[in-house]
Amino acid sequence: MKFKPFFSVVAAVALLASCGADSTQNMTYPETRTVDVVDTLWGTAVADPYRWLEDDRDPEVMAWVANQAETATSFLHSLPGRDELRQRCEELFNHPRVGIPRRIGEKVFLTRNNGLQNQSVIFVQDQDGAEERVFLDPNMLSKDGTVTASLSGASPDGRYVVEVRNAAGSDWQEMRVLDLTTGESTDEVLEWVKFSGASWVQDGFYYSRYPAPEGSAFSAENTFHSVYFHKVGTPQEQDQLVFRNDNEPNRYHFAGATEDGRYVVLNTSTGTDGNALHVMDREADNPVWSPLVVGFKNHSSLVEHVEGKLYVLTDIGAPRYRLVAADPASPSDQSLWRDILPESGDLLESVSVVGGQLWATYLHNASHRVLRCDLDGSNPREVALPSDVGSVGGFGGKMDAKDLHYAFTSFTQPTSIYKLDIASGTSTLWSQPEVAFDPSAFEAKQIWFSSKDGTQVPMFVVHQKGLELDGTNPTLLYAYGGFNISLTPSFSASNIAFLERGGVYAMANLRGGGEFGEAWHKAGMLLDKQNVFDDFFAAGDHLVTEGYTSHDKLGVAGGSNGGLLVGAIMTQRPDFARVALPAVGVMDMLRYHKFTIGWGWIPEYGCADSTRADFENLLGYSPVHNLNEGVTYPSTMVTTADHDDRVVPAHSFKFAARLQAAHAGDRPIILRVETNAGHGAGKPIGKILDEQADKWAFVLNELSALRP
């Protein structure tokens, strides 16, 4: 079924014009006191007048946050068109959707959402095609829908599965063991779990946790990430400590078993970049950890134990990654490694072993393509995807599977599920949501531009067909640029509300990301971080040069590391954009490593306490430290959440306070603080709809205020 666009072009222009009436006004902000705190780093005095905002338990901070939130809510809810946008977003989100099915023994598990449920419900079929029944409904776990629940690892005999719960968006998790026949809990609760999976071997599973935090659970530093083994039917205090490094508190440790349960791999990293691998043969007379990959300069992961070999995905000797077979008897002897899938011109993003085949997902110019091969890497065949521009997920399953499921999405195609018969290689559409918009009314394309140093950088641009390139189109430029993370095409129901009002959505694949392999990543990290900002500037300038928009019609957005990006852009070129949306951003680059797991980002950013070069580099672009008095900055909506324990809200608090004090002119600077929410994952639909309505109302009003 096709739908007519909710707004015609004429109506969109009319809305844009009307939105501009009172979009700029003299703002009165809550009073923010300053303190006389000065740190001396490498002989340089650095003032930190808003240090007091770092204490999330201080009643004064709580009162300040409440006043800021009230100011933001009052402003946002008074914006023309905000209620209509909220209604339209609800219409776009209100459609049934289903997740990728998962087999556990004979049973099939899948998630369904009727459209506006806060959390998707987990259903079970006793066998493929059988009647569905509710297995776990997370909506019953909290009144406001802020508790999420998902299924992690399952026992090899298909008797148990691990349920993982997160509350209020926090990264802290609780694990429970559920009986797959009855759905009932065994009453085992594992606490203080963070950044962990559940990998089963026989009657228990490996998982990772921290000691109970001292101080605030949402801002205190997390150290001594350790691996435990939990045996079903026993309390957590009896769990076996598998690995803990008392000499290196700031490291991550994860353990996972191969499908046959013979080998367990220990993955160790100093942060978010590079890792070491050790492997244990559980069938050996004296099982010990043997090195597989040493050091932290490369990225490697154990894919599976295949025909007596350990298959490893690695960038060692291959910046765009390769799949190698290692000898379990001498796993670290790279002279014995044999290429199964050698490095190619595209990024080898992931490999799975399902149904006796290899399924290799590649990135070609930031879009996915998938090859299936025999187990030795021979006989490659490309999986026919719905489009050359899009993203996939799934391709998981057991070695003896007869079929598998995968998801495909693009800027104009909502996430759809396909079922692939392994014997024939044929894919059939299994589930496709019907969203209340006409995809044929929009187009998406990829364009390339030159950055400051001549590097060619790609960018996706999405808009209504027939767009006039007259430089007046409201445009939102989004990017991330860090941590080896790739941005690929995906559908956003919220973006449709902007696009159908004449907006242009652009997504740039900046250096620092992973779209083109490790060399692309390294070109935007540590002392080369400025390349990321230069790429972003070049993206916006290109949109202006090509007539998509003007700098007075440009909005910029990013979250987390992308929030840092937006903050740096604002300070380096305040007139680059008219609107800025820094979300849950890392804004204090001199102190980020002192909170929760911030130390894990040191391999990406460097550390001001470690070297003078790092200090000078970080101070040079740290958003909090580069806001200047009397400068007119973009209209800015800083967003964070009270339970964000990944990028603690103090970053946004300090940035917003400093920006409100330094900013000249009448453009609004507001701090939107979501309650009972975290870094973004698991947010209830109701909160998402409110957030998106606020965002687009803010963007459209501020950009349309300058319409000729």
Q: Are residues 420 and 515 in the same domain?
A: no
Nearest to 264 by CA among 240, 237, 246: 240
Q: Are residues 681 and 562 in the same domain?
A: yes
User: Residue 591: inside a domain, yes or no?
Assistant: yes
Q: What is the mean pLDDT of residues 569-584?
A: 98
Residue 220 has pLDDT above 80, yes or no: no
Q: Are residues 539 and 641 in the same domain?
A: no
Report pLDDT for 167. 84
Nearest to 649 by CA among 66, 140, 12: 66
Q: Single out the residue in 497, 520, 549 at which a domain terminates.
A: 549
The CATH number assigned to the domain holding 401 equals 2.40.10
User: Residue 10: inside a domain, yes or no?
Assistant: no
| Confidence band for 676, pLDDT divided at 50, 70 and 90 | low
User: Residue 43: inside a domain, yes or no?
Assistant: no
Q: Are residues 446 and 382 in the same domain?
A: no
Cα separations in angstroms, 325 against 65, 297, 349, 537: 54, 20, 17, 43
Q: Is 679 a catalytic residue?
A: yes
Residue 2 has pLDDT above 50, yes or no: no
User: What average pLDDT is seen over the chain?
Assistant: 92
Q: Are residues 459 and 591 in the same domain?
A: no
Q: What is the DSSP letter of 180?
A: T
Domain count, the chain: 3
Report pLDDT for 547. 98
Percent of the chain with pLDDT over 70: 94
Q: How far is 16 from 706, CA to CA, in rounded Å?
A: 10
The CATH number assigned to the domain holding 672 equals 3.40.50.1820
Residue 430 has pLDDT above 80, yes or no: yes
Report pLDDT for 6. 27
Q: Are residues 665 and 562 in the same domain?
A: yes
User: Residue 659: inside a domain, yes or no?
Assistant: yes
Q: For 242-254, write each residue's pLDDT tens digit.
A: 999 999 998 999 9
Radius of gyration of the chain (CA): 25
Q: Are residues 496 and 536 in the same domain?
A: yes
Q: Are residues 374 and 413 in the same domain?
A: yes
Q: Are residues 590 and 683 in the same domain?
A: yes
Residue 219 has pLDDT above 80, yes or no: no
User: Residue 543: inside a domain, yes or no?
Assistant: yes
Give the 3-state secondary structure of 292-359: EECCCCCCEEEEEEECCEEEEEECCCCCCCEEEEECCCCCCCHHHCEEEECCCCCEEEEEEEECCEEE
Q: What is the mean pLDDT of residues 402-423?
A: 97
Report pLDDT for 643. 65
Q: For 65-101, write each residue's pLDDT tens digit.
A: 999 999 999 999 999 999 999 999 999 999 999 999 9
| Confidence band for 644, pLDDT divided at 50, 70 and 90 | low
Q: Is 95 a catalytic residue?
A: no
Q: Are residues 537 and 582 in the same domain?
A: no
Q: For 330-365, write each residue's pLDDT tens digit.
A: 999 999 999 999 999 999 999 999 999 999 999 999
Q: How far is 166 from 201, CA to CA, in rounded Å?
A: 24
Percent of the chain with pLDDT over 90: 85
Q: From the candidates 230, 405, 463, 679, which is the catalytic residue? A: 679
Q: What is the mean pLDDT of residues 173-182?
A: 95
User: Residue 426: inside a domain, yes or no?
Assistant: yes
Phi/psi for 47 (5° steps) reads -75, 145
Q: Are residues 645 and 694 in the same domain?
A: yes
Half-sphere exposure of 599 (CA within 13 A, CB side): 19
Question: E strands along 355-441, which residues?
Answer: 357-364, 367-373, 381-382, 391-394, 403-409, 416-421, 427-431
Quickly tell me which residue has 């324990």 as its tokens: 645
Report pLDDT for 679. 59
Report pLDDT for 353. 98
Check the CA dihedral 488-493-495-499 and report its sign: positive
Residue 17 has pLDDT above 70, yes or no: no
Q: Are residues 542 and 570 in the same domain?
A: no
Report pLDDT for 646. 75
Q: From the candidates 367, 431, 560, 635, which is the catalytic residue? A: 560
Residue 674 has pLDDT above 60, yes or no: yes
Provide the domain limits for residue 692. Answer: 62-78+558-703
